[in-house]
A and B are shown apart, each in its own frame.
Chain A
C-alpha cells in the first residue's frame, strides 16, 4: 500500500500534479513512515508554495534517511536544504550548517555520483557573487559525466550569470541560452531547475536592460507548457511571452514594474513581497523587495516610509542604490557617496553589477560637488557599456556624460542628453527617459526657454502618469520658476462640486451666465460666482479656456452638444 502510494506520488511529481503528489505521499507516510514518503511530501509542499513546511519536512526526511543508512539520499537532501536556506530565506548560518553536513557525508560515500557537483554549486553561492567561477565549470564537468541534466542546467545558468557580471557578456549569454535549451527541451528531471534557469535569465536581463534575452525563451515555455508540466511556474491562462514574464516575476516581486514605470502595479507587488519576507522569511531569489520598495517610496516622495522600509537593511549590498536615493532626496549627497563608494569596494570584479551603483554615484558626486569622482565614474560606466553594448547601458552613459558636460560648460551636453532620452525610451525605461528630459530642460533653459518648458512639461506628464510624485514636484517647481503654470495634467473636473460641473457643462455649450442661471434656477450673480470658482479651481484664465478644458475633460454626456439651447439671448 505505502509502496504503491510512493510510486504514485513520484509519478505525480514528475508530471507536475503537486496536489496529487502531496495526497499520495501523505497516504504513503500514513501507511508506512518511510523517509522517501516524507521527502516526497516535502517536495510537493515546496511546489504548493509552502516553503517553510517543505524545508521542515525535508529536514525530517534527512534524519530518516540517515537512520536508514541511505547517506547518498541524505546528502542530496542536505544540499537542497543548504541552497534553499541561503537562496530562498537568506539564512546563511542554517545554510552553512547543512553545507557542512553534506560535505562530511559526501566524503564517506563510495559512489557520490553528481553530488560533488551540487556541492560546488552550493559552495559558490555561499561566497558573495560566487567569486570563483571555476567551481561552476568543474561542477558542469561532473554533471555531464554523470548525465545529471538538472545540475547541468543550474551550473550553466550560474556560470552564465557569473560571467556576465564580470562583463563577459557573450560567453555568459551563451551559457544561459544553453541552460535554457536544456531546460525547455524537458531534459531535466526536476522542473524546479527550469525555474532557476529562467529566474537567472531574468536577473541577468535586468542587469543588462535587455528584455530580448528572455522573450524568446519565455515564448518557447508558453508554447511547450502543454507538453511539459511547469506547475506554478507558468499559470495556465498565459498565452504570451510578456504575460509569462510578468506572471513569473510578479509571483516573487514587482521589480519589473519599477523599470517599466508602472509604479502602482509595482507598489502592490512589492508591498506583498516585503510582507511575505517579514512574515515567512521567504525572499525572492532575483531581486530584493526591500530595496525595490525603498526605491519606489523615494520615487513617490514618501521619504519617511522609505526610511522605515530600509531600516535594518542599510548594509545590504542590494539596498545600496535605494539607500543612496533616499540620501539624495534628503539632501545628504555626501552620505550617498559614502554608501555607494563602500559598496562598490565589494564589487570590484563585477563590472555589470557595479554599473547601476556607479551611475548613481555620478549623480551623488555631482550633488556633492565632487566633479572628479563623477568623472571617474563616467569613465568606468563607459568602459562597461562598451563591453555589454546594451541600449540601456548606452543611455545611462550618455545621460551621465551629458550631466558632466553641463557642469564642465561643454556644449555637447545637449546632444548627449537628447540621445540618452531617446535610448531610455527605446530601452523601455520611461522613468529614466523623463528624468533625462528634465536634465535636458535645465541645460537648454538659458538658450531656449520654450524648449526647456516643452521638455519639462513632457517629463512632468510622464511623472504624473507613473505616480513618481517626488520627480513631478521637482519638475513642477522648475516650471514655476520659469513662470509657467505647472501641474496641468493633475487638473481634473473632480475638484469641482457637482453644481460647478453642471455650470461648466453649460458654459462649454456656449451658454451665457444669464442662460446658465435660468437653466439651473439660480441667480445670475450665483452663476457668475460658480464660473469664477471653476476658473480658480482649475487654474484657467477665462471662460473660453474653461469651455476648451471641458471639451477635453468633461465626460461626453455632460459636455456633448445634445442639449442645444432653445434661445440665444446673448446681448439681452
Chain B
C-alpha cells in the first residue's frame, strides 16, 4: 500500500538519480538529523550524496524493498555506477560497480526528519580494484 511517507522516500531516490541533491530541501526538514553514512544534518547529507555523485557521476538507485512501520521506512537499495573519478584515494578505474545500501528514514508531516544510511563499502572497494584480493568487477 502506497503511503505519503513511502512517496516521500521514493522521491528522495528520484532526486538522487536525477543528480538534484539540492532539491532535497523540498522533502527534508531543515532540522533533519542524520546518522552514520548520512552525516549529522541536512547539509552533511547533501554533501555526502554529492560526494558519491562526483566519483560515480551516473549513480543510480534501484529500490528493491521498501517497508514501513508507523513513520519509519526501511529500504533496501541497489546502486549501480561507473567509477570515473578518484574515490578515497583510488584513481578512476572506469569500472562498473554494483552495491547494496540500506536506509532507515523517519518521515513526519511529509518531510524527512531523520535518516540513517549504510552501504556495502567493502564491495565498492573490491569492485574498483582497491582491495588486494578483488576479483575483476
Q: Which residues of A contact B (CB under 8 A)?
A: 450, 453-454, 457-458, 461, 484-485, 488-489, 491, 510, 512-514, 528, 540-549, 551-553, 570-571
Contact = CB atoms under 8 A, between A and B. Distances in A.
Given A454-B91, A512-B35, A542 B86 contact: no
A552 B89 contact: yes
Interface in B101-137: 104, 106, 114, 116-119, 121-122, 124-125, 130-131
Contacts of B50: 541
Contacts of B39: 542-543
Interface in B46-80: 47-52, 54-55, 72
A404 to B, nearest CB: 29
**How many interface residues does chain B have, given as a range?**
35 or more
A544 B119 contact: yes
B37 to A, nearest CB: 5
Nearest to B53: A541
Contacts of A453: 85, 92
Given A570-B116, A571-B106, A510 B88 contact: no
Contact of A541 (B48, B91, B94, B125): B48
A416 B89 CA distance: 30
B92 A450 contact: yes
Contact of A542 (B48, B104, B118): B48
B37 A542 contact: yes
Nearest to B132: A552
B40 interface: yes
B14 interface: no
Contacts of B106: 571
Given A450-B84, A548-B87, A541 B92 contact: no
Interface of B: 35-37, 39-40, 47-52, 54-55, 72, 84-92, 94, 104, 106, 114, 116-119, 121-122, 124-125, 130-131
Given A450-B94, A514-B35, A551-B122, A545 B88 contact: yes
Query: What secondary structure prevails in chain B residues at the interface with A?
Result: mixed
A544 to B, nearest CB: 5
B125 to A, nearest CB: 6
Nearest to A525: B40
B103 to A, nearest CB: 11
Chain B CB within 10 A, most for which of A485, A491, A512, A545: A545
A548 B49 CA distance: 15
Contacts of A488: 86, 89-91
B55 to A, nearest CB: 8
B71 to A, nearest CB: 11
Nearest to B86: A488
Given A541-B50, A571-B72, A571-B106, A549 B88 contact: yes
Contacts of A512: 35-36, 116
Nearest to B85: A484
A546 B37 CA distance: 10
A219 to B, nearest CB: 34
